[in-house]
Amino acid sequence: MTATDHARELLQIAAAAADSKQAEDLVALDVSGPLPLTDIFLLATGRNERNVIAIASEIEDKLIEHGAKPLRREGRAEGRWILLDFGDLVVHVFHEEDRMYYSLERLWKDCPAIPITVPVRETAE
């Protein structure tokens, strides 16, 4: 199996939202093979707890604006690892230390990566 077009569309919206809040190290994995309940994991890193919360909030807001319904969210109070479950797409926003510790990329290393396209940020001159 491969991720659905709908899941890929949600991924691009979520990735753009994460990027707009300076998320780092965005990685998307097609987990549709081993997991029957979701298609894609999006992993993102924030520099600190406040940044992690801002990234997760922006992703959630943009996906809701697009009509996606959040099924579950966990970890917002701590701001270390926030999980947003939108059915076809599950977003993991990590604090840098937690991302390295849990190393989901290693755990799901057999799942293919999905290319992410984010808008180019304008730089101040």
pLDDT single digits (tens) 57-113: 999 999 999 999 999 999 988 999 999 999 999 999 999 999 999 999 999 999 999
Query: DSSP state, 121?
Result: P
Predicted local confidence at residue 83, as pLDDT? 97
Name the more confident of 121 and 77.
Answer: 77
Q: pTM for this structure?
A: 0.91
Long-range contacts of 105-112 (CB under 8 A, 24+ apart): 105/27, 105/29, 105/43, 108/29, 108/31, 108/34, 108/41, 110/34, 111/29, 111/30, 111/31, 111/33, 111/34, 111/41, 112/29, 112/30
Predicted local confidence at residue 124, as pLDDT? 56
Quick check: 125 pLDDT over 70? no
Domains of the chain, each with CATH number or no CATH: 5-107 (3.30.460.10)
Predicted local confidence at residue 77, as pLDDT? 87
